């Protein structure tokens, strides 16, 4: 039963989504209770098809936070409120720790004991990572924390809360939605209209095109480059690999978000944007305002600011920022690569903060703003793509070799070797990378190509959507690659 | 006011969706025609491009007002029939189409049956040879399956809606395209590679694999001026035997290839196509299905058993061709068809370019001997 449903399975578009739309907008029309019940039931069916028995973990998380939220709200005693909060966080983070990090901890322990003490090895549990656990855990945790902070009260009805926690478009890979954002939309019957429906369709088509045309094609180059036996001392090869992976991960993840947002719009639910052309960012801070926005704002609100943020002096800032980024990196997965990735971004953010405080730097920006902005963009993106190497290349030796080549240390340039190391579809992939760069730039300037497209007249819209659907159909590789963020 | 605006938006949405569907149909269809099909023709996507032109050939034949005679068979047939020569002998009013392709099996060929009937030829000449009854592996090998899927897709008709469907094994029925979407999906699977190769050829970035004037693997595209001429007389093998003969290495040739021809039952994991099975297998059943369908449609059927290089026949293992012999005897008794049996005739080594394929000398002989038989049928004598 597992993995029978996601946003690239045809059944999602031919059966699941049409059924949801019909049930919510037509059968349950004007009756919000029926609509919520339908959305909840369909969300659990979706999750059951995607993840099997792990649906019980979602149910546990939902029950825990529903109860904790109620109890915290009902109690006036700080101690009791805190106890419920700690209890909720412990269970949520405990589930996350067991299913996501336990094997990683055991492996790290084994490695350390092998090196230092020679203690016997502990067997790992080989637990399968429940799909979407990082996303819905953070989502439900934010609900309980907000009630504890008295930002808002609890949901009045359990079904509403369960629907918020399990809402199928964002359940598996976000965006991480805040409870009030969702609640205000289901307080009255949800409805769509032709413009909104068209926006929904546009987002779904745009997302599918990004995933199937660009992400899955460049992934073949990425997989070929970061494989055993490839000469990673070739600068061109590593640069091309990093560029392709940066494009792959963005197109893959943002495609999922687009489809999630589009699916939501079809039934009248608006989910928050998760990306704003991140590769147009001109500073590390700017990058995090554009990349995985729902996670970065979550980390800001529930980790960075509670840790002291930028208001407690340099030391506190360093601790808060590095702590947030390290944990943000670890959120992605149980691997030292992600920790290092987070650490590198933390260092970049700190370096940027300190750099812009220097008077000389400020003066340069004032003297030649356009040129410095271009320079900032180049430097920012250089480091962003460098960090993608850490994210992608798991093998330590291979990673070190790649990083050396990326900075031009102990590396060489050989175009023939570069050409021969790439898989057979070369020209098409190069063309797709160029198309991506151009459209990403245009999209940044226009505030989102998909939004522009959804507002065009029916002829232009129809033809553009036709081109995107046809291209996705024709250019998709034989095997669709799983969404990267399913692993997180 | 709101209601009116919503109605207009709803109308716009419906029109938009219709435009999108229309665009998809046009773009996908044209992309497959312009990008994928030429690469199937020239063999870039496989090692034998010639079968890809079959259905376009039937369109040409259908539009031909003259008496059409179609030759179907394997590479032996392709190498045996020079349509120009036969047309010269028979005079105006008769057009010959040589549609033999390497590796042909009746089990694949039956996919074309509706298009053959629709083309309304006067005569269909079928090769009776080792391929007709040779072992067909069930389930099909990946290579055979690939070819059958392509043929069904190029025919443009889903397998379950076609005449031949009942002849397929239950296993193969599940593997062939069963809807128009599956047909488009099947051809679109080659789009990436096709566009890559097309771009590479245009940019001179990569050398073309085949040359249609030299290599039998390649067929000129159906829009090409040479296409109709190609249908009459396709590109032929070079005369390998003559090359060996010129350098006094004839015996070396036979030592090497006779052994390969008869003794190797499995080559590269595939059954040697000349290993006859000796039972009424799916190939033989398909062969009879083709004959029955053509006869029922009022089309004259000629069966032709082409000769082999005498050195091959003289060295064949005892009883190797016994099943073919039995089949020939069986078809002799069929009054609906005309049987031409040259299987065991000795046409001399000069008539062959190798063990089994005829040379230009052999082609002349075929043209001279088949022409009166064909004219007799056409004239209703």
Distance CA B85, CA B96 (A): 9
Name every residue whose Cβ is closer than 8 Å to that of residue A217 and which is 6 or more positions away in sequence: A425, A428, A429, A432, A475, A477, B192
Average of per-residue pLDDT across A253-265: 94
Tell me the residues of chain A between 409 and 438 that have a Cβ less than 8 Å away from chain B: 424-428, 431
Distance CA B137, CA A176 (A): 54
Point out the residues of A that are catalytic: 332
pTM of the complete model: 0.86
pLDDT at A105 over 90: no
How big is the CA angle at A268 (ends A265 and A270), to the nearest 5 degrees?
60
Question: Which residue ranges make up each domain of chain B?
Answer: 2-378
> Tens-digit pLDDT profile for chain B (381 aa)?
566 677 778 889 999 999 999 999 999 999 999 999 999 998 888 877 788 899 999 999 999 988 999 999 999 999 999 999 999 998 778 999 999 998 888 999 999 999 999 999 999 999 998 778 877 666 677 778 888 999 999 999 999 999 999 999 998 899 999 999 999 998 899 999 999 999 998 888 777 877 888 889 899 999 888 899 999 999 999 999 999 999 999 998 888 888 777 765 554 555 555 666 677 888 889 999 999 999 999 999 999 999 999 998 888 877 777 888 888 888 988 889 999 999 999 999 999 999 999 999 999 999 999 999 999 998 876
In this complex, which of B15, B189, B191 lies closest to A458 when CB atoms are compared?
B15
Q: Is the peptide bond before B342 cis (omega within 30 degrees of 0)?
A: no
DSSP element (H, E) containing B137: none
* Angle between helical axes of B180-188 and B2-31 (0-180°, round to 10): 60
What is the architecture of the domain spanning B2-378?
3-Layer(aba) Sandwich (3.40)
CB B102 within 8 Å of CB B50 = yes
Beta-ladder partners of A326: none
CB contact under 8 A, B28 and A474: yes
pLDDT of residue B264: 57
Q: What is the ipTM of this complex?
A: 0.84
Distance CA A34, CA A240 (A): 51
Chain B residues lying within 8 Å of A477, measured CB to CB: 192
pLDDT at A228 over 50: yes
Distance CA A47, CA A59 (A): 11
**What are A344-363's pLDDT values in tens digits?**
999 999 999 999 888 888 88
* CB burial readout B89-99, b (16+ within 10 A) else e: ebeeebbbbbb
Tell me the residues of chain A between 446 and 475 that have a Cβ less than 8 Å away from chain B: 457-459, 461-463, 465-467, 469-471, 473-475
pLDDT of residue A230: 84
**What are A244-258's pLDDT values in tens digits?**
999 999 999 999 999
CB contact under 8 A, B191 and A425: no
């Amino acid at each position: 039963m597992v993995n029978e449903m996601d946003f690239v399975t045809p059944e999602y578009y031919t059966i699941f989504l049409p059924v949801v739309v019909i049930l919510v907008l037509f059968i349950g029309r004007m009756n919000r209770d029926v609509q919520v019940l339908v959305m909840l039931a369909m969300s659990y069916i979706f999750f059951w098809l995607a993840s099997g028995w792990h649906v019980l973990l979602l149910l546990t998380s939902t029950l825990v936070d529903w109860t904790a939220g109620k109890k915290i709200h009902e109690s006036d005693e700080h101690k009791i409120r805190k106890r419920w909060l700690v209890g909720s966080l412990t269970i949520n983070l405990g589930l996350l720790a067991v299913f996501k990090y336990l094997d990683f901890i055991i492996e790290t322990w084994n490695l350390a004991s092998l090196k230092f003490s020679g203690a016997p090895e502990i067997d790992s549990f080989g637990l399968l990572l429940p799909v979407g656990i990082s996303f819905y855990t953070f989502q439900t945790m934010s609900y309980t924390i907000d009630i504890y902070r008295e930002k808002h009260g609890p949901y009045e009805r359990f079904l509403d809360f369960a629907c918020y926690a399990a809402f199928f478009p964002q359940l598996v890979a976000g965006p991480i939605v805040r409870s009030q954002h969702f609640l205000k939309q289901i307080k009255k019957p949800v409805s769509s209209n032709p413009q909104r429906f068209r926006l929904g369709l546009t987002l779904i088509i745009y997302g599918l095109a990004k995933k199937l045309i660009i992400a899955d094609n460049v992934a073949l180059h990425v997989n070929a480059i970061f494989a055993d036996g490839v000469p990673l001392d070739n600068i061109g090869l590593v640069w091309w690999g990093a560029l392709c992976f940066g494009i792959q991960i963005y197109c893959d993840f943002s495609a999922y978000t687009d489809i999630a947002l589009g699916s939501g719009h079809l039934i009248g639910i608006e989910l928050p944007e998760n990306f704003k052309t991140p590769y147009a960012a001109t500073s590390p801070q700017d990058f995090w305002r554009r990349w995985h926005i729902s996670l970065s704002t979550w980390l800001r609100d529930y980790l960075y600011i509670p840790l002291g943020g930028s208001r407690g002096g340099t030391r506190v800032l360093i601790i808060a920022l590095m702590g947030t980024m390290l944990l943000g990196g670890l959120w992605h997965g149980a691997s030292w690569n992600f920790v290092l990735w987070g650490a590198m971004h933390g260092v970049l953010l700190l370096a940027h903060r300190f750099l812009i405080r220097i008077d000389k730097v400020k003066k340069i920006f004032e003297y030649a703003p356009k040129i410095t902005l271009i320079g900032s963009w180049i430097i920012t993106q250089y480091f962003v793509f460098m960090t993608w190497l850490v994210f992608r290349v798991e093998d330590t030796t291979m990673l070190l070799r790649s990083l050396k080549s990326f900075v031009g240390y102990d590396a060489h340039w050989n175009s023939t070797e570069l050409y021969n190391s790439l898989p057979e579809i070369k020209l098409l992939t190069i063309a797709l990378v160029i198309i991506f760069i151009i459209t990403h730039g245009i999209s940044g300037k226009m505030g989102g190509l998909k939004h522009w497209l959804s507002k065009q007249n029916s002829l232009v819209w129809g033809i553009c959507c036709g081109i995107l659907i046809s291209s996705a159909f024709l250019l998709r590789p034989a095997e669709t690659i799983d969404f990267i963020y399913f692993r997180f | 006011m709101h209601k009116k605006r919503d109605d207009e938006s709803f109308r716009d949405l419906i029109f938009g969706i219709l435009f999108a569907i229309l665009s998809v149909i046009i773009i996908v269809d044209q992309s497959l025609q312009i990008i994928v099909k030429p690469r199937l023709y020239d063999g870039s996507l496989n090692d034998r491009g010639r079968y890809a032109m079959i259905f376009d050939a039937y369109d040409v034949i259908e539009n031909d007002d003259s008496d059409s005679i179609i030759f179907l068979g394997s590479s032996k047939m392709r190498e045996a029939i020079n349509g120009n020569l036969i047309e010269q002998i028979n005079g105006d009013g008769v057009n010959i189409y040589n549609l033999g392709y390497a590796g042909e099996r009746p089990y694949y060929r039956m996919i074309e049956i509706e298009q053959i009937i629709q083309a309304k030829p006067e005569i269909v000449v079928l090769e009776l040879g080792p391929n007709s009854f040779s072992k067909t592996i069930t389930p099909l090998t990946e290579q055979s399956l690939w070819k059958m899927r392509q043929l069904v897709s190029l025919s443009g008709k889903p397998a379950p809606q076609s005449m031949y469907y009942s002849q397929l094994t239950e296993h193969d029925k599940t593997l062939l395209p069963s809807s128009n979407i599956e047909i488009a999906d099947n051809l679109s699977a080659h789009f990436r590679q096709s566009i890559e190769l097309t771009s590479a050829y245009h940019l001179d970035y990569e050398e073309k694999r085949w040359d249609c004037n030299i290599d039998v693997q390649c067929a000129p595209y159906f829009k090409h001026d040479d296409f109709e001429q190609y249908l009459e007389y396709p590109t032929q093998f070079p005369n390998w035997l003559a090359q060996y003969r010129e350098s006094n290495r004839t015996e070396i040739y036979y030592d090497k290839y006779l052994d390969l021809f008869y003794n190797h039952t499995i080559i590269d994991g595939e059954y040697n196509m000349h290993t006859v099975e000796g039972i009424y297998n799916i190939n033989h059943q398909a062969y009879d299905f083709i004959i029955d369908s053509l006869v029922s449609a009022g089309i004259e059927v000629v069966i032709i058993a082409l000769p082999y290089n005498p050195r091959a026949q003289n060295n064949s293992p005892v009883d190797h061709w016994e099943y073919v012999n039995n089949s020939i005897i069986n078809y002799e008794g069929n009054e609906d068809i005309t049987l031409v049996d040259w299987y065991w005739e000795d046409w001399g080594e000069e008539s062959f370019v190798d063990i089994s394929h005829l040379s230009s000398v052999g082609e002349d002989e075929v043209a001279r001997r088949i022409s009166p038989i064909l004219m007799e049928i056409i004239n209703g004598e």
